[in-house]
Amino acid sequence: KAGVTQTPRYLIKTRGQQVTLSCSPISGHRSVSWYQQTPGQGLQFLFEYFSETQRNKGNFPGRFSGRQFSNSRSEMNVSTLELGDSALYLCASSPAGDRGNSPLHFGNGTRLTVT
């Protein structure tokens, strides 16, 4: 079974630009969650999508948005990039997501650098 695939692996953007990151979950998984990982704050929850609906949202500004398609693939968008947005963005899929104790299966992340 293929794992969670995130593209691209690396991205360099300039302040003020916007960026879109992509995540393909494990086949059959309907929940996709996004996390931001930085050395200072660790992993922080961005949002979770389940069957194309945003089910939960973390404490991030509205510049961070996402969506999920009917095939469960998900995209995350960050607009008006700031230097502080530089981070590893991790996507995780699970069968049930925030319901129950389903483990999260993480991709290897997209490393975003904002200059």
Partner 1 sequence: TQLLEQSPQFLSIQEGENLTVYCNSSSVFSSLQWYRQEPGEGPVLLVTVVTGGEVKKLKRLTFQFGDARKDSSLHITAAQPGDTGLYLCAGRGGGADGLTFGKGTHLIIQP
Pair of tokens at residue 7: 């593209």
Q: From the CB of 69, what's the least distance to partner 1, in Å?
A: 21
Q: What is the DSSP secondary-structure string of 38-102?
A: ETTTEEEEEEEEETTEEEEE-S--TTEEEEE-TTS-EEEEE-S--GGG-EEEEEEEESSTTSTTP
Query: Shortest distance, CB of residue 37 to partner 1, whole angstroms?
Result: 9
Among 11, 13, 22, 56, binds partner 1 (CB under 8 A): 56
* By CB under 8 A, residue 53 contacts partner 1: no
Q: How far is the CB of 84 from partner 1 (least distance, A)?
A: 17
- Tell me how far apart the alpha carbons of residues 90 and 49 are, in angstroms, rounded to a whole number: 14
- Strand, coil or helix: 27: coil
- Out of 19, 21, 35, 78, the only residue in the binding site for partner 1 (CB under 8 A) is 35
Task: Kindly indicate which of the ranges 13-21, 33-41, 61-69, 70-78 contains the residues binding partner 1, using the contact rule CB under 8 A.
Answer: 33-41
